[in-house]
Amino acid sequence: MGAEAAAGRTVAVFGAYGHTGRFVVQELIARGFVPLLSGRDAVRLKAMSVEYDVEARPASVDDPASLDRALAGAAAVINCAGPFATTAAPLIEAALRARIPYLDVAAEIEANADTFAHFADRARAAGVPVVPAMAFYGGLGDLLATAAMGEWTAADEAHVAYGLNSWHPTPGTRIAGEVSRGRRDGRRVRFSGGRLEYRDDAAPVLEWAFPEPMGARQVIGEFTMADVVTVPSHLPIPEVRTYMTVEAARDLSSPETPAPVAADGDGDGDGSGRSAQTFLVDVVVRSGGEERRAVARGRDIYAVTAPLVVEATERVLTGRTEVGAGVVSAGEMFDAGDFLRALAGQVKVELP
């Protein structure tokens, strides 16, 4: 690959050595990109650079000059380092200075809301695409809701039900959750009446009729995820609710639940490093008396973030977008149906 071609395919990955970051690096390499590893842990970066034979550039979010050095020559940057309440703004600032696209995999509601609130005008003025929550939480649900809408220009309600058979959270997930709970003083949040509401009451336990073979399951109602930021950022839907299977919510809340472990050694793996955890995302949009549904099925909520964010990066870099610049969620930035179909090797999708 020539120097000019390599520059156009070089993507900086901040937090490259984290659980999700490693999946992203592997996906970039598989698609012919040149990952540029970054993050604050120089020792882990060096080991990973030797493992993958790529360059590593240590950097810290509290040192803007180090971020500028880390992004020099990159065509885009993917932020995989949580908590995003701490990392997103400095990385977006660095991307704006470098005039390169920024994407992240943030699941934190408040961090994503901050990105839309603080950078929409600046990113648009700079001509830089900023795509937050380009991940399993936030991005996939937004793409499914957008595809389900079809020609509808508005809807009354959108429901995103997460049918996880288990949830073994990474250390990063646990830290991000603590940061979010601290920001909202321990209250829970939901999106109703076109805005975020913070509540002190307990979330309801409901029954959700997932498509077969999962069927009816108990879920935590208003188990609010990043979809309540991404979906209404571009779709006029005043009620956006997300739900989580009780088993997965219990796993997440228990300090005894271990981190995810690759299933490749137990007979059902494929050498990818994915865990055995499975998911079904069931999205329902309603308008008047009509209802439309889109469904996605797959394995490992962390691993599947890699094809989501790398597919998005490739489309941004090749101009296959619906919007040129600004802070834009997945459903608005891309042709949702076409994007979802492109994931066929990783996610089985059923659209209206």
Contacts of 195 (CB under 8 A, 6+ apart): none
Of the candidates 13, 19, 29, 23, the one whose C-alpha atom is nearest the C-alpha of residue 95 is 13
What is the helix (H) or strand (E) element at residue 183, kind and residue range?
Answer: helix 171-183
CB-side neighbour CA atoms (13 Å) of 222: 17
Give the CATH number, domain containing residue 203.
Answer: 3.30.360.10
Q: Per residue in 84-132, pLDDT tens?
A: 999 999 999 999 999 999 999 999 999 999 999 999 999 999 999 999 9
Q: Per residue in 187-211, pLDDT tens?
A: 999 999 999 999 999 999 999 999 9
Query: Are residue 156 and residue 288 in the same domain, yes or no?
Result: yes
Query: Are residue 160 and residue 246 in the same domain, yes or no?
Result: yes
Per-residue confidence (pLDDT) for residue 7, from 0 to 100:
60
Is 191 inside any structural domain? Answer: yes
* Contact assessment for residue 64 and residue 90, using Cβ atoms and an 8 Å cutoff: yes
d(CA 282, CA 144): 9
Confidence of residue 272 (pLDDT cuts 50, 70, 90): confident
What is the total count of domains within the chain?
2
DSSP-derived letter for residue 257 is P
Is 343 inside any structural domain? Answer: no
Q: What mean pLDDT, rounded, does the chain reach?
A: 95
Q: Which of 276, 300, 324 is a domain's end point? A: 300
Q: Tell the residue number behind the tokens 């180090």, with chain if given.
A: 66
Instruction: From residue 189, give the alpha-carbon distance in Å to each of 110, 206, 244, 266.
Output: 10, 17, 14, 39
Query: Are residue 113 and residue 176 in the same domain, yes or no?
Result: no
Is 123 inside any structural domain? Answer: yes
Q: Per residue in 129-168, pLDDT tens?
A: 999 999 999 999 999 999 999 999 999 999 999 999 999 9
d(CA 54, CA 50): 7
Query: Are residue 263 and residue 188 in the same domain, yes or no?
Result: yes
Structure tokens at 296: 């996605």
Query: Are residue 211 and residue 107 in the same domain, yes or no?
Result: no
Query: Are residue 104 and residue 149 in the same domain, yes or no?
Result: no
Is 348 inside any structural domain? Answer: no
Domain that holds residue 287: 137-300
Query: Are residue 129 and residue 161 in the same domain, yes or no?
Result: no
Query: Are residue 247 and residue 190 in the same domain, yes or no?
Result: yes
- Of all residues in the chain, the percent with pLDDT exceeding 70 is 96
Structure tokens at 347: 């996610």
Confidence of residue 266 (pLDDT cuts 50, 70, 90): very low
Query: Are residue 271 and residue 319 in the same domain, yes or no?
Result: no
Is 324 inside any structural domain? Answer: yes
Q: Per residue in 334-352, pLDDT tens?
A: 999 999 999 999 999 999 9
Confidence of residue 170 (pLDDT cuts 50, 70, 90): very high
Residue 198 burial (CB < 10 Å; 0-12/13-18/19+)? Answer: exposed
Q: Per residue in 211-254, pLDDT tens?
A: 999 999 999 999 999 999 999 999 999 999 999 999 999 999 99
Query: Are residue 310 and residue 274 in the same domain, yes or no?
Result: no
Residue 138 burial (CB < 10 Å; 0-12/13-18/19+)? Answer: buried
Is 346 inside any structural domain? Answer: no
Is 197 inside any structural domain? Answer: yes
Query: Are residue 171 and residue 102 in the same domain, yes or no?
Result: no
Give the CATH number, domain containing residue 84.
Answer: 3.40.50.720
Query: Are residue 233 and residue 221 in the same domain, yes or no?
Result: yes
Is 94 inside any structural domain? Answer: yes
Per-residue confidence (pLDDT) for residue 267, from 0 to 100:
39
CB count in 10 Å sphere of residue 18: 22
